[in-house]
Amino acid sequence: MQHLIAPSVLAADFANLQRDVEMINNSEADWFHIDVMDGLFVPNISFGMPVIKAIKKHAAKTMDVHLMIMDPDRYISDFKNVGADILTVHYEACTHLHRTLQAIKAEGMQAGVALNPHTPIAVLEDVIRDIDLVCLMSVNPGFGGQSFIENTYKKIIQLKDLIEKSGAPTKIEIDGGVNDQNAGKLLAAGADVLVAGSFVFKSENPTETIAKLKRV
């Protein structure tokens, strides 16, 4: 499978959101990566339902919603209603992860689990068959523009091994500090989806930067 690129809308210009959404529509990007932060699970607040609904109105690609919120079960059907196709919750924010994943699927969405940089792959051993997407955080979640954590490569290899052994079709997504310097090595280690915020939106030509990441 050719790898997928998911530009992170967190780094877009919120005063020109429609323009930036159209840029992603017209680029080689595969997904919209949408970061929701609650100021509790992470020390930052991003945006919620009305903004996601506004993005969905113009977005012509898969909506990959990454929840950095405590107890996400409270909002699963709300995220479905505003247009999420993939809903990713944090392992660290869910007491009953298996139940949460079933609830996401029952709403007709794909279910993702994100792991913080300090969380070992092994915690997913007994639930990997129920996960469509594992999002490995390659920065501590909460902010765009941070530096990539090198330990991520080792985790990709471990996760790939777990997925292959289980026979699950789970995709591996890397989120945080992705750029043209580490993209090749991430894909070689086994990544399927690269999220990129600052590297895309702070570049001179975001469309061309997305194409560059797609061609790695």
Catalytic residues: 35, 175
- Taken as a whole, the chain contains a residue count of 216
Among 20, 30, 35, 192, binds Zn ion (CB under 5 A): 35
Contact range with Zn ion by CB under 5 A, out of 104-112, 154-162, 175-183, 208-216? 175-183
Query: What does DSSP assign to residue 38?
Result: B
**Distance in angstroms (rounded) separating the CA atoms of residues 38 and 29:** 27
Instruction: By CB under 6 A, tell whether 197 contacts ligand DX5.
Output: yes
Residue-by-residue DSSP string for 106-159 = HTT-EEEEEE-TTS-GGGGTTTGGG-SEEEEESS-TT-SSPPPPTTHHHHHHHH
Q: Quick check: 209 binds ligand DX5 (CB under 6 A)?
A: no
Biggest alpha carbon–alpha carbon distance for the chain: 46
Indicate which single residue of 72, 176, 190, 206 sits in contact with ligand DX5 (rule: CB under 6 A). 176
Q: Is 142 near ligand DX5 (CB under 6 A)?
A: yes
From the list 3, 66, 90, 155, which residue makes contact with Zn ion (rule: CB under 5 A)?
66
Angstrom distance (rounded) from CA 75 to CA 68: 12
Q: Which residues bind Zn ion (CB under 5 A)?
A: 35, 66, 175
Q: Which residues bind ligand DX5 (CB under 6 A)?
A: 8, 10-11, 33, 35, 66, 139, 141-146, 175-178, 195-199
